[in-house]
Structure 1
Amino acid sequence: MTALDDAALAALDTHLRSAADADDFSGVVRVERHGEVLLERAYGVASRRWGVPVRTSTRFDVASVTKLFTAVAVLQLVGDGRLGLDDRVHDHVDLAGTTIPREVTIRHLLTHTSGIADDADEEAGESYEELWVDRPSYSVTRTADFLPGFVHKEPNFAPGEGCRYCNVGYVLAGLALESVTGTTYRDHVREHVFARAGMDRSGFFRMDEAEPDVAEGWEPVHEGPDDDGPVTGWRQNVYSYPPVGSPDGGAHVTARDLARFWAAVRGGELLPPDLTRAFLTPQVLHDDGADDTDGAEPAPSVHYGFGLEFELLADGSVRSAYKDGINTGASAILRHYPDPVAAADGPDASPQAGAPGVTVVVLSNSEAGAWDPIRRLDELVRG
């Protein structure tokens, strides 16, 4: 039972308009139930320099949500027999002389179980933006350009012996894709994911090129030594990360296109049936939720899939399937709340995450922008 009625959504719209007027939110919110659009609204400005308003057709950098496109592209190659989930990445990418263990497989990369040390360990609180203080971000435009940032670091654990979020695992998966296809990652995803899903406004747009209707990323500049004072200005994110998207982040999509991607995956338009089921099924436990409970009820556990993340309730049912992304000047989330369905067993059973339900997309061109809207929507869905 949800509280996603007209009155609740109107109240949310009013709140977000007030937040935009106060410079606290800029972006697009889209809510669907069973494919019907209940809400799609644009708020704030796409360019603070020029005062260009956000439109529902505006393309946003979705940061790590890009990993969903990478995972689907790799699984397509698995379905074609050109890659295997248990192939060793060393068999497709020249990693001689590096610390990347020879046992690391494509499966490990996609499920964050490789143990590879990230270029910036975000789980340990390291800042991705600080990677580019001493190395110019504009020098990293090809997938292989990321390698020097992590291939000589010592692994966190042996492959398959743990679970730790790892951006560069997707860089290696992208390199494996490039190796077997002979094309660039971006060209391949444009043709085999965006075009096939009907995502006709999505792409990988360079930050240093003029592309119409692409939101610029901005962050507030605060007064005071701890950046906790009043906002005194705005800083664009042009030096915060590489200028064009890669397998681990940086694609640009509209809210409509991201919802279309989700419908295409669930509808079996992008992957064969066995791999559609695999994509929509939790693969490994990441967080059992024991440290997050407030005592009222057990917190959902979090499981990683092939790009997706899943909240599981104590009875094993899927509360939501989602992927979020965050970067300086960008935040985004795709979240699907499946309707309750009877448990099904067997190799041909449909995963619960693929059931009809409520799909939410929030896109923003600031690092903190997406989180208040998704929190409020989460409360409405829970009723």
Structure 2
Amino acid sequence: MNIHHLLSGTSGLDIPDEDVQRIFQSRDEVHEYYEQRARQAKLVGVPGTPDTAHAEAEVTISALIMEAVAGTTYWDYVQENIFKRCGMTGSAFYTRPQWLTDKHIAHPYMKLADGSVVDALRNLDKGSPYPYVLGKNPGRAFIDAPGDGGFATARDLVRFAHALSDGTVLDRPWADVLTAAKIPHGPASFGAYGIAIDIINGQWMFQRAGGNPGVGANWSIYPDTGWVGVILSNRDSDGVGRQDMIGQEMQAITGASPGEGSGG
């Protein structure tokens, strides 16, 4: 196994289930917990074989390697070398105390099993009923795990997309290495380093999505036309979901109907 396997989601690693009930109280506590989880990772598959179920171990270990090389924490490195360099003034790895006191930071509104919706950050005793995040509450984290996401505005994510294409983040050849197709997932769908890429109606689309109870995000780059799509939400879906909105965005930009694959 090597770094390519970690970044492309093909390491074959797995780790025990996360303790979603734990409430963290410091950056150091968060870092120690996820570092220990990474050390518990075991090889359960053949490196080079796609398996997105092992994403947490791969992301955390990659962040720990970065910390060892840079001599600083993942959070501080990204703040200095990504957010600051790209002019992402509204983006940061905020802590729970900052989240609670800064009125500019959106709170996650989480749906409970009885259908009611609560501010997850102010109800740490409540958890999500959805099977893929069962019992989880994003407010229990003091800060995002090393290698994981942070807080960002839509405007800042557009700034990052432009910085990726103009050489601000990476020299152009290395940006191409980051976004190049690595692993085939379908006739016109591939895995790259941390992003999914697709050929939609004859043009490339780079995409990164994520979510938590009460939190949803999707960021898409259409490099052939220069369009950037950002979808952010702070409430569990009622009716139109994130996939529906992504489909509408994709149709508006590429002309392809939702569900369509590649085109000539």
Q: Which residue of 2 aligns with 1:312?
A: 199
Residues 175 and 185, structure 1, Cα contact 8 Å, conserved in 2? yes
Q: Which residue of 2 aligns with 1:15?
A: none
Residues 215 and 365, structure 1, Cα contact 8 Å, conserved in 2? yes
Residues 310 and 318, structure 1, Cα contact 8 Å, conserved in 2? no
Displacement after TM superposition at 1:204 (Å): 0.5
* Unaligned 5+ runs, structure 1: 1-103, 121-127, 224-230, 289-299, 338-353
Matched pairs, number: 232
Is 1:204 aligned to 2:93, yes or no?
yes
Residue 272 to residue 148, structure 1, CA distance change in 2 (3 Å): same
Report Cα offsets for 1:322-360 as digits up to 9, x if no partner. 1001111211011123xxxxxxxxxxxxxxxx4333211
Larger radius of gyration: 1
Q: Which residue of 2 aligns with 1:379?
A: 251
Displacement after TM superposition at 1:173 (Å): 1.0
Please, which moves more after superposition, 270-279 or 141-150? 141-150
Q: Distance in 1 between matches of 2:90 and 2:119?
A: 27
The partner residue of 1:148 within 12, 24, 36 is 36
Q: Which residue of 1 aligns with 2:60?
A: 171
Displacement after TM superposition at 1:370 (Å): 3.5
Q: Which residue of 1 aligns with 2:129?
A: none
Q: Distance in 2 between matches of 1:119 and 1:214?
A: 32
Q: Which residue of 2 aligns with 1:302?
A: 189
Q: Distance in 2 between matches of 1:308 and 1:233?
A: 31
Q: Which residue identity lines up with residue 221 of structure 1 in the other structure?
A: L
Q: Which residue of 1 aligns with 2:107?
A: 216
Q: Which residue of 2 aligns with 1:332?
A: 217
Is 1:232 aligned to 2:116, yes or no?
yes
2:194 alignment partner, SS class: coil
Q: Which residue of 1 aligns with 2:14?
A: 117
Residues 95 and 143, structure 2, Cα contact 8 Å, conserved in 1? yes
* Unaligned 5+ runs, structure 2: 125-136, 256-264
Residues 110 and 214, structure 2, Cα contact 8 Å, conserved in 1? yes
Is 1:187 aligned to 2:59, yes or no?
no
Q: Which residue of 1 aligns with 2:170?
A: 271
Residues 88 and 156, structure 2, Cα contact 8 Å, conserved in 1? yes
Displacement after TM superposition at 1:108 (Å): 1.4
Report Cα offsets for 1:69-127 as digits up to 9, x if no partner. xxxxxxxxxxxxxxxxxxxxxxxxxxxxxxxxxxx32221111111111455xxxxxxx
Q: Which has the higher contact order (CA 8 A, sep 6+)?
A: 1
Residues 310 and 321, structure 1, Cα contact 8 Å, conserved in 2? yes
Q: Which residue of 2 aligns with 1:43?
A: none
More helix by share: 2
Residue 153 to residue 105, structure 1, CA distance change in 2 (3 Å): closer
TM-score (norm 2): 0.78
2:85 alignment partner, SS class: helix
Displacement after TM superposition at 1:380 (Å): 2.5
Residue 207 to residue 329, structure 1, CA distance change in 2 (3 Å): farther
Q: Distance in 2 between matches of 1:381 and 1:108?
A: 32
Q: Distance in 2 between matches of 1:153 and 1:177?
A: 18
Q: Which residue of 2 aligns with 1:158?
A: 46
Q: Which residue identity lines up with residue 310 of structure 1 in the other structure?
A: I
Residues 237 and 329, structure 1, Cα contact 8 Å, conserved in 2? no
Q: Which residue of 2 aligns with 1:359?
A: 228
Displacement after TM superposition at 1:172 (Å): 0.8
Q: Which residue of 1 aligns with 2:262?
A: none
Displacement after TM superposition at 1:376 (Å): 2.1
Residues 15 and 40, structure 2, Cα contact 8 Å, conserved in 1? no
RMSD: 2.5
Displacement after TM superposition at 1:277 (Å): 1.2
Q: Which residue identity lines up with residue 257 of structure 1 in the other structure?
A: D
Q: Distance in 2 between matches of 1:280 and 1:215?
A: 30
Displacement after TM superposition at 1:232 (Å): 3.2
Q: Which residue identity lines up with residue 232 of structure 1 in the other structure?
A: S
Residue 163 to residue 367, structure 1, CA distance change in 2 (3 Å): farther
